[in-house]
Amino acid sequence: MKTKNDWWFRFFNSPDYLTIYRDMTGPERTERELDFCERVFAWKNGQPILDAPCGAGRHSLVLAGRGHTVFGLDISAYLIQQAVRGAEHLPKKCVMPSFTRGLMQQNPFRSEMFDFVICMFSSYGYGENNDENLLIMKEFARVLKKGGKVLIDVMNRHFIEPRLNCVYESEQAGLFVREERTVLDNGRRLNNLITVTDDKGNKRSYLYRPWLFNGWELSLLATQAGLNVDRVYGNFDAEPYSNYSERAMLAAYKPE
């Protein structure tokens, strides 16, 4: 499966991704994120949910464990493989989640298939340009049923931009990780050069360049995609969004 964005294809198709972000994607955070989704959506068991991108399935697997019908979509063959393996440990009473490899801007699912779409953990904004980001939003709208809802959770660029011009170093599971973070395009895009050194001194480098959004920019994209904006939240406590919010969390729906 070819893609122009080789930078994120390499990063997310590597085991290093899960290692680097392990401390930020643990069970406690996952439960909190999904508790927020449940509060916003008031979803019921049996209503199909699209988790895109699903990564290694950390949201999909918990949702399935809670009794929901979940479909995961991700470009990374490695992460899809991890998600499938994780599903093997779910209780037999669960509806097994379905995982598909594919691009969000070429969503393989049929129109009006889902009651809900979730796009969590700053996973929106990986288009080559803003036209591709809009296309992803339009694809979310296409696969939603009429009245269906989408939640997109990203870092609020107004909050994160002043904190990005820095070098961040950490150790994760025997790896030394150096991140050189800068902002591009007048604060609209993160440029993060990640260098990983293992315990044998071998180095691997990845370029991580997602687009950044505030709540108003997400709302505009949703409107352009034919969705109606319900509201924008600023955190997982469901507080209203402001320029000072840590996150921008768009809740929108497809008109009847």
Q: What is the mean pLDDT of the segment spanning 212-216? A: 98
CATH number for domain 160-208, candidates 3.30.530, 1.10.1060, 1.20.1280, 2.20.25 = 2.20.25
Domain ranges of the chain: 6-156+213-253, 160-208
Token output for 86: 């994780």
Q: What is the mean pLDDT of the segment spanning 187-210? A: 95
- Which stretch of DSSP H or E encloses residue 163? none
Superfamily of domain 6-156+213-253: Vaccinia Virus protein VP39 (3.40.50.150)
- What is the pairing mode between strands 247-253 and 144-155? antiparallel
Q: pTM for the complete prediction?
A: 0.96
- Alpha carbons 125 and 178: distance in angstroms, whole number: 23
The tens digit of pLDDT for each residue in 13-30 reads: 999 999 999 999 999 999
- Give the helix ranges, DSSP H, for 66-121: 77-87
Residue matched to tokens 């920019």 = 217
Q: What pLDDT shows up at residue 3?
A: 54
